[in-house]
Amino acid sequence: MIENQNLTHVYLMPGMAANPSIFEYIKLPEDKYKIHWLEWQMPLKGETLSDYAKRMCEFIEYEDIVLLGVSFGGMLVQEMSKFIKVKKLFVVSSIKSHHELPKRLKFLKHTKAYKVLPTRLVANIDLLAKYALGETIKKRVDLYKKYLSVSDTAYLDWAIKEIVCWEQEEPNPDAIYIHGDKDVVFPHSCTGNCIILKGGTHIMIINKYKWFNENLPKLIES
């Protein structure tokens, strides 16, 4: 594929339970960048996030790529970057280490309540939306149906366990962290080396897409 030789390939990974249509508004100059959407695969029984990340790298077909992940996808791409060479690593609306997990998720870890939570999430669309998107969906069921399509209980069991039990101690020094100051899912992530979007919520990849379209090329080439 000769036309791809001079392009930078940009792989985008959505957040927990979300499908890649959350990136539908992300557009980069097509003469320089080719966007690829990554999708959640069903985890294998007992698979760690690190092993899952290694398996996800099999979907990367090019070298020296840009990798961007949102929320839980941001945690995943930090793990994936340990196995492949990336030109730039973007972590959006996520956390830099387990220290930034909010109290309610730390509580889930210490009480092991995460073992019973996912089934409740599937039964309660609004609760799943609150955990995955940071907002309730009572009037936005269409938004839920459009973006949150991964509702398999085995996947949610695995995802919530891997989020609350994530072991990363320090921020990845090579990552570019981008966070909204109105993010209620991960409210403690605006500290340290981080680009802060004023008014950005947990779904800013959707509703602040213009900022990303304008700034990602500059950040990739910086």
Q: What is the pLDDT of residues 108-151, one digit of tens each?
A: 777 777 776 656 665 565 666 666 666 655 556 666 677 878 77
Tell me if 78 sits within 8 A of 168, measured CB to CB: yes
Cβ–Cβ < 8 Å for 137, 50: no
How far is residue 193's CA from residue 137's CA, in Å, rounded to a whole number?
A: 32
pLDDT score recorded for residue 151: 75
Look up the CATH number of domain 2-221.
3.40.50.1820
Q: Can you give the three-state secondary structure of 56-103, one letter per residue?
A: HHHHCCCCCEEEEEECHHHHHHHHHCCCCCEEEEEEECCCCCHHHCCH
Give pTM, 2 decimals: 0.90
Domain boundaries, the chain: 2-221
What is the tens place of the pLDDT at every residue in 156-177? 889 989 999 999 999 999 999 9
Write the single-letter amino acid at 85.
K
The percent of residues above 90 in pLDDT, for the chain, comes to: 66
* Cα radius of gyration rounded to whole Å, the chain: 17
Contact between residue 210 and residue 117 where contact means Cβ atoms under 8 Å apart: no
